[in-house]
Amino acid sequence: VDTGSPFTILDKSLEPELGKPIGTRRLNYASFEDLTANKYKSPKFYLGNTPLQLGDSVVTDNVKRLMSGRPVAGVLGMDCLRHYCIQLDFTTRKIRFIDSDSLQAKQLGKPFPLVHIGSNLSTHMDFHGKNERFRLDTGDITDGVLQPKLLKDTVKAQKPVRTFQIKTISGALEQWSYFSAFDLGSETYTNMLMRQISNKGNESILGLRFLARNLVTLDFPNRTMYLKQASVGPLANENGKINCGP
């Protein structure tokens, strides 16, 4: 489930079930740049017995390389997600599709505006006393990315506990930094892992490691995100390890 992907991507192993390609599309995702992917007419998707709405087409790629050792059929993108109200409950490890009209908003935490322009899903929240824009990307495994100016101001105010380099799947080097704590959206979060990249524009991003500290409700029909803090520190995965830990 990837709020950073504008469309749904299926693994190439499913191509025989999709019929003939109807064209190609350029892909830039998960540190892969300028890929050419086959495009197919969207198949029927179901949540149980309920059909899900997709865009007119899907694309295929070797998605399984993104999740080594786990069976992954594809990436469900914003062409589907934008039609629904979705709750990400990381504590119970459940995704819920909820009726927007029946939301009990007061129990869901603090509301933030959702803006969906083109392929970007973003929100605004308080950061260092300013109302800053952040793109939401559940496909980013860190706490996120700070645009160069925000990163520079943050480093001045608070030195990173540790800085190191990571080689991405595509072979590029990224600089990752640990900060002891951040105040985001009027809440304090500790052990924040942020990455710095130079070839993705000047957008700041909130990633999965940050979102997983909260009960996240994405009410796309009403363009609102609710965050209810569940943990100050990062959430452990199913093996009891901290995601992206030192």
The predicted-structure confidence for 135-171, as pLDDT tens digits, reads as follows 999 988 889 998 888 887 887 778 888 888 887 766 7
SS3 percent helix, strand, coil of the chain, rounded to 5, is: 15, 45, 40
CB atoms within 10 A of CB 193: 24
Distance of CA 71 to the CA centre of its chain: 19
Q: What is the mean pLDDT of the chain?
A: 86
* Residue 239 confidence class, pLDDT cut points 50, 70, 90: low
Cα(90)–Cα(69) distance, rounded to whole angstroms? 21
Cα 221–Cα 225–Cα 230 angle in degrees, nearest 5: 140
Instruction: Convert the pLDDT of each residue in 5-14 to its tens digit.
Output: 888 999 999 9
pLDDT, tens digit (0-9, with 9 covering 90-100), for 97-132: 999 988 999 999 999 999 987 768 999 999 878 899
What DSSP designation does 239 have?
T
185 contact partners, CB below 8 Å, separation of at least 6 = 110, 112, 125, 126, 127, 227
Of residues 213 and 35, more confidently modeled: 213
Region 80-91: what's the mean pLDDT? 94
Alpha helices by DSSP H, listed for the chain, are 78-81, 148-157, 208-211
How far is the C-alpha of 104 from the C-alpha of 150, rounded, in Å?
Answer: 34
Q: Give the pLDDT score at 152.
A: 79
**CB count in 10 Å sphere of residue 154:** 19
CA distances from 89 to 43, 226, 231, 232 (A): 28, 12, 12, 15
Percent of the chain with pLDDT over 70: 87
Q: What's the pLDDT at 246?
A: 46
Structure tokens at 32: 């892969």
Nearest to 57 by CA among 128, 9, 126, 1: 9
Ordered alpha helix ranges (H), 24-134: 78-81
To the nearest 10°, report the CA torsion of 2, 4, 9, 11.
-60
pLDDT band at 176 (very low <50, low <70, confident <90, very high): confident
Contact by Cβ (8 Å): 220, 83? yes
Cβ 11 vs Cβ 73: under 8 Å = yes
pLDDT reading at 235 higher than 90: no
Mean pLDDT confidence for 194-209: 78
